[in-house]
Amino acid sequence: MKNLKVLIFSLIFLVANYFSALADITASAPSNMISSIASSSSFTSLDQNGAQAQNVTDNLLDTEQLQETVETEAETFGAQQNDDATTAAAEEEQFVTLNSNNSPELEFPEPNLDTMVYDTGLMTLAVNTSAQYNEGAGDNTNIFSGEQKARVRVYIDFVRQKQWGSVESRITLTDSETITSIVEGGAQTVIELPVEGQLSYLINSTTEERLSIEGDPDFNTADTEPWIQDKHEINSLLKGSSTPTSATYDGINPGITQSADFADMQKAISHTNGDKSVLVQAKFSTGEGGTLGSSTASFEVSNVDKCGSAAGCTVGSEVDLRIKSIVRLEATTTTVGKKYTGD
């Protein structure tokens, strides 16, 4: 009996101490950085309900496992963000567009089990018939034939703070068989959310290969890739405006002054006495505030002749004609991040 009383008092003492210890511990809420990255990566953060989580993570790996991985990577990313030296170095690295030798030496990481994958699958592109492109006439000169397809695949690794990707294009022109190519885009450093990226390059319809990025572009040759237009809101030769407006090239607006880079690009994509290349472009964003990410793939060509001079198109009618000649095919889809599994 004495031993039983001792045992009971001991248990009461242990239980009392256990609850006392619990009272000193408060559950930590996910940090803003973790919640932001989780939602921007199309994952549901811990403070959202189960129904919302199910909507976002259908067809993915185990929800709790994914959530734990994203939060761990987010904490690492957040800690690195607070390092002034790391942030300053990241901001010095310019956005990689894989556009000839304007870019620094590119880095092509390999995905691993810490990597998130955003994959559109193979999309069928449709002609943009807004007034912005070819004055709404679509592909009225029949440069393309049949279905045009593209696939955008993007990788994000929060541990290494890198984002990179690739574009698969299947281009069918009226005077050629289907040209299939896969081009990889170099990595950029992830420094803020949402994570965004663009990739642009040219496929020559004669060689069926990507134009060379070695050496300076030359108006008189067809095998060197011209400088890509400056980055702007949409990845296109034209800006997002109801009135056809050319993108700038190295800060130069061809509608105001002559631009040799504009002339080089126009010659490369001209399918009327030009080089008959196709500009392949992709734009990606993870989205933010709980929204899904999105990816857009596009092909662009010109249906008029090249400019008359390597020095640039004459400002006025010559520039205006070429700006209004751009034919664009495109497709956009939402994307949900999935853990890379090695496949």
Do 143 and 174 touch, CB atoms closer than 8 A? yes
Which pLDDT score is estimated for 254?
95
Q: Residue 217: is its pLDDT beyond 70?
A: yes
Q: Residue 306: is its pLDDT beyond 80?
A: yes
Ordered by start, the domain boundaries in the chain are 30-92, 93-338
When mean pLDDT is compared across 14-18, 149-153, 283-287, the lowest value belongs to 14-18
Which pLDDT score is estimated for 289?
63
The alpha carbon torsion through 213, 214, 216, 217 (nearest 10 deg) reads: -40
Residue pLDDT, tens place only, 117-135:
999 999 999 999 999 999 9
Q: What's the rounded Cα separation, in Å, for the pair 244 and 321?
A: 10
Q: Residue 234: is its pLDDT beyond 90?
A: yes
- CB atoms under 10 Å from CB of 206, counted, come to 12
Q: Residue 4: is its pLDDT beyond 70?
A: no
Tokens representing 65 are 């496992």
More confident residue, 221 or 63: 221
Q: Residue 69: is its pLDDT beyond 80?
A: no
- What confidence tier does 290 reach under pLDDT thresholds 50, 70, 90? low
Most confident of 5-19, 53-67, 114-128: 114-128
Please spell the DSSP secondary structure of 168-236, one letter per residue: EEEE-BTTS--EEEEEEEEEEE--SSS-EEEEEEEEETTT-SBPB-SS---TT-SSBPPPPPPP-SSSS
More confident residue, 50 or 269: 269
The fraction of the chain above a pLDDT of 70, given in percent, is 69
Per-chain mean pLDDT for the chain: 77
Q: What's the rounded Cα separation, in Å, for the pair 70 and 76?
A: 10
When mean pLDDT is compared across 8-12, 142-146, 197-201, 240-244, the lowest value belongs to 8-12
Q: Residue 30: is its pLDDT beyond 50?
A: no
Which pLDDT score is estimated for 176?
87
Q: What's the rounded Cα separation, in Å, for the pair 229 and 80?
A: 32
- What's the mean pLDDT in 142-164? 95
- What confidence tier does 101 reach under pLDDT thresholds 50, 70, 90? very low
Which pLDDT score is estimated for 216?
84
Q: What are phi and psi of 237, to 5 degrees?
A: -70, -20
Tokens representing 150 are 């593209």
Give the SS3 label for residue 80: helix
Which pLDDT score is estimated for 157?
93
More confident residue, 30 or 105: 105
Q: What's the rounded Cα separation, in Å, for the pair 225 and 204?
A: 10
Which pLDDT score is estimated for 221?
84
Q: Which residues of 267-293 are buried (b: 16+ CB within 10 A; e: fewer)?
A: bbbbbeebbbbbbbbbbbbbbeebeeb
Do 265 and 201 touch, CB atoms closer than 8 A? no
Which pLDDT score is estimated for 339?
92
Q: Residue 10: is its pLDDT beyond 70?
A: no
**Helix (H) / strand (E) containing 127:** strand 123-127
* Alpha carbon 102 to its chain's center: 19
- What confidence tier does 61 reach under pLDDT thresholds 50, 70, 90? very low
